[in-house]
């Protein structure tokens, strides 16, 4: 790994942080593997990055969306060529299984492909005028320099679904990734630089809270797109409110799968295991609750526990592992504490429940049964391989329990009744809905969005994303 990846990338140059401080980056599945000491930036680095972005934006805006899309196409080709390097980096620093990391690279490529195609569709409208000999129309303009703050759970795909539309819209950007996944961010920044994106259009500032707060507070930043926790998202929105900072916030989830008495149980169990324990449950759309009709609960639980108990935990590079580590020690302890608290509230451990062996941050895939619907573990996001099984009495009770939380990211139902399916789709208080399939996963051209406290602002990964990175103009021309 080149030493440049340990640095920031500002104005087209790799440079050390002004603070002179660094942060070690460890492999969560193998604590003997240290990837390096990466830049720990602060306000001075953000200042330099915003200055570079501000200087670069006029020429980038003038290029137009079709030519900007050519740079995205070039980046897509480079990413495809370097796909395995990215997968290996994701697995080493985030911990997810190598097959999951490769899947994330494919997702990022799909996002690039979709977004580049939008270069020929970034349109407005022509409209009739009230006066004669007058032409009136609307068009989109980039909002300005944007700050992109991304999490560690998808260190390539989530940055991509922010960077690609920001650049196509004509914005210049300051990208601040999670301090837990700095290598993937550096590799991604290099892809766009090698694709010919001009210096200063995309700037990378590594670091944690100090860099994030400085980016949100900077008067030269027109918008912040953030993916992460609810408390941080609220803090960003509140900090920017006095100057009407535009925000796009994708926040937490407490997602439910509803299994009714007429469900295909084999299909429901398979989908639940995938949704709850894929990527160690570290997804905003992960299945955190499964709400099961009492008529089929015991049969469902028997099949579920058998499959979950057979899942092998191991490092991401272990091709035989089915579940990888959680991202760090704090996340591991948070999962174990949540299990303990759930037991104190009356839940019972059906399988798992403790730390898994290994030189990393491993948690046993855990199923909790008899979970009270209003207990803490049934209401708050865990972000780990912990699944709560909650009893219900019929469809109406299942929907009540599903909608009882403050979040609304994903909603899923298993039933064979067409009328129930369509009623559920109307009644779910969630943004991404699924029927008889896993409650995770989305397409690059469909909105990635939540409801309630899971989302604020326009969706991502869809044509609706332009409502964040651009603003409307109307023009009337008298001839």
Active site residues: 250, 284
Contact 17, 43 (CB under 8 A): no
Residue 176 phi/psi, 5° resolution? -120, 100
Mind giving me the DSSP string for 210-229?
HHHHHHHH-TT--EEEEES-
Bridge partners of 136, per DSSP, are 127, 476
Q: Answer positive or negative: Cα dihedral of 252, 223, 204, 62.
A: positive
DSSP 463: G
Bridge partners of 249, per DSSP, are 226, 456
Determine the Cα–Cα distance for residues 223 and 339; give it in Å rounded to an integer. Answer: 38
Q: Which of 188, 193, 110, 192 is nearest to 155 (CA)?
A: 188
Residue given tokens 């900072």 in the structure block: 245
Helix boundaries (H) for 314-393: 329-344, 376-379
Contact 176, 215 (CB under 8 A): yes
Helix axis angle for 209-217 and 43-63, nearest 10°, is 50
Q: Are strands 126-127 and 134-142 parallel, antiparallel or unpaired?
A: antiparallel
Contact 257, 178 (CB under 8 A): no
**Length, in residues, of the chain:** 479
Helix boundaries (H) for 382-433: 394-402, 418-427
């Amino acid at each position: 790994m080149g030493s440049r990846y340990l640095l920031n990338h500002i104005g087209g140059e790799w440079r050390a942080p002004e603070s002179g401080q660094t942060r070690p980056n460890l492999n969560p599945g193998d604590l003997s593997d240290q990837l390096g000491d990466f830049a720990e930036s602060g306000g001075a680095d953000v200042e330099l990055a915003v200055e570079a972005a501000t200087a670069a934006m006029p020429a980038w805006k003038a290029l137009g969306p079709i030519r900007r899309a050519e740079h995205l196409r070039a980046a897509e080709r480079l990413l495809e060529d370097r796909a395995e390097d990215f997968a290996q980096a994701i697995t080493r620093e985030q911990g997810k299984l190598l097959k999951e990391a490769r899947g994330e690279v494919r997702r990022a490529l799909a996002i690039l492909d979709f977004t580049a195609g939008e270069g020929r569709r970034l349109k407005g409208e022509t409209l009739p005028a009230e006066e004669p000999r007058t032409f009136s129309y609307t068009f989109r303009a980039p909002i300005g320099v944007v700050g992109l703050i991304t999490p560690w759970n998808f260190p390539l795909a989530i940055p991509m679904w922010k960077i690609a539309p920001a650049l196509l819209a004509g914005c210049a950007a300051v990208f601040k990734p999670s301090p837990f996944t700095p290598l993937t961010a550096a590799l991604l920044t290099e892809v766009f630089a090698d694709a010919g994106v001009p210096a200063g259009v995309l700037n990378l500032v590594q670091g944690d809270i100090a860099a994030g707060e400085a980016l949100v507070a900077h008067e030269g930043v027109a918008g912040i797109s953030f993916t992460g926790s609810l408390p941080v998202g609220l803090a960003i929105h509140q900090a920017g409110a006095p100057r009407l900072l535009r925000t796009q916030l994708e926040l937490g989830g407490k997602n439910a799968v509803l299994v009714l008495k007429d469900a295909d149980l084999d299909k429901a169990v398979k989908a639940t295991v995938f949704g709850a324990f894929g990527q160690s449950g570290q997804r905003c759309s992960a299945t955190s609750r499964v709400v099961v009709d009492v008529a089929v609960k015991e049969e469902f639980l028997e099949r579920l526990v058998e499959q979950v108990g057979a899942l092998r935990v191991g490092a991401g590079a272990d091709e035989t592992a089915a579940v990888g580590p959680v991202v760090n020690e704090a996340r591991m302890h948070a999962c174990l504490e949540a299990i303990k608290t759930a037991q104190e509230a009356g839940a019972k451990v059906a399988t798992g429940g403790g730390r898994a062996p290994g030189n990393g941050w491993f948690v046993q895939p855990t199923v909790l049964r008899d979970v009270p619907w209003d207990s803490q573990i049934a209401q708050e996001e865990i972000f780990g391989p912990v699944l709560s099984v909650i009893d219900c009495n019929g469809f109406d009770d299942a929907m009540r329990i599903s909608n009882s939380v403050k979040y609304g990211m994903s909603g899923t139902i298993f039933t064979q009744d067409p009328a129930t399916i369509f009623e559920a789709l109307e009644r779910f208080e969630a943004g991404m809905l699924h029927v008889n399939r896993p409650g995770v996963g989305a397409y690059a051209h469909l909105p990635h969005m939540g409801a309630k406290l899971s989302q604020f602002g326009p969706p991502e990964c869809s044509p609706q994303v332009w409502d964040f990175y651009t603003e409307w103009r109307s023009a009337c021309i008298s001839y």
